[in-house]
Structure 1
Amino acid sequence: MGSGGEDAGEDPAVQIIGDRPPAEVVRELKQQDGADIWLVGGGKLAAALLDEIDELIVKRSPRVACAGKPLFDGEFTPTAFVPVATKEFASGITRTTYVRER
């Protein structure tokens, strides 16, 4: 559902890609002017988009709360990323930003 109870297909801010490969859609978006693309969708989507990912932001917690989820779930080619910034919070959580090694 879109905002205001509208069907997502009726919301002009929502584009449904259907069966199109996610990497194809992301490549098209990267050719357009605008803001960065933020991937939120889980390990399967991340694995499908690995070749298009320029930067990773990884948050880590010193507490074990569950079994965890893989960052990349499925077939992918090992790819090198380099840490460029780390921030530690008072809670002990850290956030590290990595960029694709060129």
Structure 2
Amino acid sequence: MRKLIYYIATSIDGFIGDPDTGDGAFFVPLSLGDFQEFMFREFPDTLPTAAREAVGLADAPLTRFDTVVQGRRSNQVAYDMGIPSPYAHLRQYVASRTLTEYPDPSVELIGNDLVEKVRELKAEDSKLDIYLCGGADIAGQLVEEIDELIVKTYPVLVGSGIPMASAGFALRHYELTSCRSFGNGVILSTYRKVR
């Protein structure tokens, strides 16, 4: 069975976006140097298609993910920039309780059956995993289905904002499987769910 992996950027204090706009762009200037090189090499599937093209990875084979699931608000960022299919190199799903249709046929909407749909995706016969691409609400809805967390902790303290997951309080145990620091102060930690 393949895994649902929540791959997310966060501040030291655990926030993934501005509390007013939801924007996590404050992380972008810190994504340079040896960290950027590592991410392009190890996680090229997580780059939006336009970014893959811009850095010469347009034809790079998929190595880790073949499917992306994202919330409507996360998807809205690209949509507002005129990019209705931000991850065209992956099979794309957008979770929304309000949208009934989507302008790009390569993006499939998931309504109220999000958990069931993710379970179906996880049960597929594939060597590649499923990329959970933010945000807090969708991560909260899928918290029991998240098999692995890959957390990029940036060396900033923001004080408040959107948390990594909006889920009810409960202890959910994960084990640290790897941790690496980079010259720009970013720490990349991977956690596996303890069954």
TM-score band by shorter chain is 0.7 to 0.9
Residue 126 of structure 2 corresponds to residue 30 of structure 1? no
Q: CA RMSD in A?
A: 2.1
Q: Relative to 1, partners in 2 of residues 1:2 and 1:58: Cα closer, same or farther, differing over 3 Å?
A: closer
Question: Contact 1:87–1:95 (CA<8 Å) still a contact in 2?
Answer: yes
- The count of corresponding residues between Structure 1 and Structure 2 is 96
Runs of 4+ displaced beyond 3 Å: none
- Deviation readout 1:55-97 (Å, 9 max, x if unpaired): 0011112222563421111325321001000111100110100
Tell me the residue number matched to 2:103. Answer: 7
> Percent of aligned positions with the same letter in both sequences?
34
Larger RCO, structures 1/2 (Cα 8 Å, 6+ apart)? 2
Q: Relative to 1, partners in 2 of residues 1:2 and 1:38: Cα closer, same or farther, differing over 3 Å?
A: closer
Residue 147 of structure 2 corresponds to residue 51 of structure 1? no
Q: Which moved more, 1:82-91 or 1:54-63?
A: 54-63
- Deviation readout 1:17-74 (Å, 9 max, x if unpaired): 2x23211110010111222011112111111101111100111122225634211113
| TM-score (normalizing by structure 2) | 0.45
| TM-score (normalizing by structure 1) | 0.80
Higher strand share: 2
Point out where structure 2 has 5 or more consecutive residues left out of the alignment. 1-83, 87-101
SS of the residue corresponding to residue 20 of structure 1 reads coil
Residue 117 of structure 2 corresponds to residue 21 of structure 1? no
For 1:63 and 1:39, how far apart are their aligned partners in 2? Answer: 23
SS of the residue corresponding to residue 108 of structure 2 reads coil
Tell me the residue number matched to 1:61. Answer: 154
